[in-house]
Structure 1
Amino acid sequence: SVRKHWSVENNLHWQLDVSFNEDYGRKKNNAAVNFSLVSKTALSMLKHYESKSSIARKRKSAGWSDDVLQSILSVDKF
């Protein structure tokens, strides 16, 4: 049970660090909590978006195409 919990925790934090560079940002006061919430929400939406691409590629595609961004934002599974 404990190993399973830490496995989930480590995978989430690793994904946030790699995809969103969370460790490199310096935020003060409530900004860290706010950005963490937004990053976790965005990561969840990207994971549930039906594409075989990596998280990084999905982020780039959303930045390049408004249609892809709209389809990611309209995912209702998260």
Structure 2
Amino acid sequence: MNREPVVSLETCFAAVEDPRVERTKRHMLLDIIVIAICGVICGAEGWVEIEAFGKAKEEWLKDLLELPNGIPSHDTFGRVFARLDPKQQGNRILI
């Protein structure tokens, strides 16, 4: 079986452009994306539940992410994802 090498989430999302103004960034874009993905995988539905997941798993997430200002609020998740361009050409993963 010929398998592609495992690619990190950081590599997968490195090309995603951050739509936020520099002075308003309190959280790293990659941190926001990874927490959201992990939260959804674990059953979170909506930004409030993703924030709750992040807070419940904060110690574990600190080993993986930078989290300079802790876990983003549900409002931050909503604002950031609302501004991301879904048509961006990021790094593609072939499964």
TM over 0.5: no
| Structure-1-length-normalised TM-score | 0.34
| Structure-2-length-normalised TM-score | 0.30
Higher RCO (Cα < 8 Å, 6 or more apart)? 2
